[in-house]
Amino acid sequence: MVLLCCSSVMVAIAALAPDTQKLTDLEVMVDFARQHREVAARLRFIDVEKSVIAWTEGCEAHFSRPTVMHFPDWAGPQPRLKYDRSNCELEP
């Protein structure tokens, strides 16, 4: 029983593979576009590497990953991307 509990904890803190992390980040950004009709309607591109969505001419929404305090050599998953800012007005 103790071994089972320890192994499940180890699985819970494992880091995500880079391709899985990028897909998770992409999902966050696509969900953002779905929630903002103008962004979805005038979408130009989604840059997962830079965590930016561009729509219309010159409008961008920037995302960032919250900083998490952890122990050195910690290999847990990164926090989910969060909407940070936009240089254009977003509808409510």
Confidence of residue 75 (pLDDT cuts 50, 70, 90): confident
pTM for the full predicted model: 0.74
Instruction: Work out whether strand 43-47 and strand 82-86 pair parallel, antiparallel, or are unpaired.
Output: unpaired
Model confidence pLDDT, tens digit, residues 2-43: 555 544 444 455 566 777 889 999 999 999 999 999 999 999
Confidence of residue 71 (pLDDT cuts 50, 70, 90): confident
Check if the beta carbon of residue 14 is closer than 8 Å to that of residue 76.
Answer: yes
Check if the beta carbon of residue 15 is closer than 8 Å to that of residue 76.
Answer: yes
Which token pair is 53?
């969505």
Question: Residue 76: what residue type?
Answer: G
Residue given tokens 């696509």 in the structure block: 30
- Percent of the chain whose pLDDT exceeds 70: 82
Which token pair is 26?
């992409």
Which range, of 14-23, 47-56, 82-91, averages the lowest pLDDT? Answer: 14-23
Mapped onto helix, strand or coil, the DSSP state of residue 40 is helix
72 or 50, which is more confident: 50
